[in-house]
Amino acid sequence: MPLHNRTAIVTGSGRGIGREIALKLAREGANVVVNDLDAEPAAETVAAVRDAGGDAVACVGSVTEDGFAERFVRTAVESFGGLDIIVNNAGYTWDNVIQKMTDDQWRAILDVHLTAPFRILRAAQPVISAAAKAEAAAQGRARARKVVNIASVAGLAGNPGQVSYAAAKAGVTGLSRTLAKEWGRYNVTVNTVAFGLIRTRLTEASAGDSEIDVEGRRIKVGVNPAILDAATSLIPLGRAGTPVEAANAVYLFCTEESDYITGETVVCGGGWRG
């Protein structure tokens, strides 16, 4: 199993793409720390991982809350003895054109998509640094570790009504490229997967017909069917992607075959770049 004896933390892994990432890593041998805002979906993913033959624990809470990043990293170390793979996946959209976007909307989206990954990576640095130095002293070289940050084609090409989301996701690519240069000395690769149109509960609902609760905020989600059809028609492969396919793209950067690839952004969008 390629990821045997590896420990992964995956934000937003109670549902959707994050859940499939957790399951994929577990099927390939990794121990997984599952995260979700709510205890029930986190517990369901943990159970699914264990049913698949892997091991997992839950770390419930908002990635934006003070102290979460340290608690998340500590859960991996205390539960499985270390940390090898970090996947910053959690997020949602709260769209509006710029003249109607409030400061609260702007801050909320930047907090979850950009500030939270920054905090998690900052909290992980002492653990990764110490492990890499110990391994280098004992074996001559630290073993490869992986960071995969999730971005979007919106951050590469822009998207009307998503100024905050596009800005945050563009920031994720800059974060990844910089950290690739800082953490290369620890033998850590840092890459970004930018998703195109992936069918999830947030994209399959019609615009305005569904809501999600995010820390007490009721946020309308969904995509206008006409816009969805138009976007799909532009995808060279002729269809939206699935959460499983999205998870497979993330997995590529978690394998030893990608040990000499770092600071890169790969679009998982069926040939569509926004």
Q: 33: which strand partners? A: 9, 57
Ramachandran quadrant class, 77 (left: phi over 0; alpha: psi -120 to 50; beta: rest): alpha
For the chain, state the CA radius of gyration: 18
Structure tokens at 203: 């994209």
Per the CB < 8 A criterion, the answer to whether 93 and 162 are in contact is yes
165 is catalytic: yes
Please report which helix (H) or strand (E) contains residue 171, including its range. helix 163-183
Structure tokens at 206: 């019609």
What are the strands of the beta sheet with 85-88, ordered from one edge? 55-58, 31-34, 7-10, 85-88, 145-152, 188-195, 265-268
Sorted by sequence, the CB contacts under 8 Å of residue 209 that are 6+ apart come out as 222
What's the rounded Cα separation, in Å, for the pair 234 and 62? 35
- List the catalytic residue out of 92, 165, 251, 260: 165
43, burial (CB in 10 Å: exposed 0-12, middle 13-18, buried 19+): middle
What are the helix and strand counts (H, E) for the chain?
Answer: 10, 9
Q: Which residues are annotated as catalytic?
A: 165
